[in-house]
Amino acid sequence: MTTEIRNLRTPNNKSTDTSLKPTIEKDPKEKATDIGQYLLCRQCLKIISSPAERIEVQGAHVHTFANPQGIVYEIGCFKNAAGCGYTGIPTDEYTWFRGFRWRVALCGLCLTHLGWLFMSTARLSFNGLILNRLVESKKQV
């Protein structure tokens, strides 16, 4: 079995684009389908965010990175993740997004590691959530 890794970047890669961009505007009919949809913690089903919170960072919503231990994560970028709590002191050590410091993002209910909160000195922030730790639901649970 072969696993395809796209856009793999290690912390040593330097990207100069730190802009945050909303995702491509959807047709109004498609926007309506996002209403009532939620992204839930796969472990406990707590509401974490919604598809409407998806954003692009450095030109993409989805990124694949490896941490210094070689663990590969596929993350999606979200403007808000109200169901997350955060731990740790913000650091720029091994950051995947140049100009951003990060903290660990946990499920606010079961404390499962769901990703990271990235913060810039320009007061921009976004959540990088591990996509295989989330599930979609069309109605509130």
Q: What angle do CA 44, 49, 54 make, to 5 degrees?
A: 140
Given this model, what pLDDT does residue 35 score? 59
Quick check: pTM over 0.85? no
3-state helix vs strand vs coil in the chain, percent to 5: 10, 45, 45
C-alpha–C-alpha distance, residues 58 and 19, integer Å: 6
Domains along the sequence of the chain with CATH: 8-13+23-137 (2.170.150.20)
Structure confidence at residue 8 as a pLDDT band (50, 70, 90): very low
C-alpha–C-alpha distance, residues 99 and 18, integer Å: 7
C-alpha–C-alpha distance, residues 107 and 47, integer Å: 9
Model pLDDT for residues 71-117, shown as the tens digit of each residue: 999 999 999 999 999 999 999 999 999 999 999 999 999 999 999 99
Which residues have CB under 8 Å from 20's CB, separation 6+?
55, 56, 57, 79, 124, 126
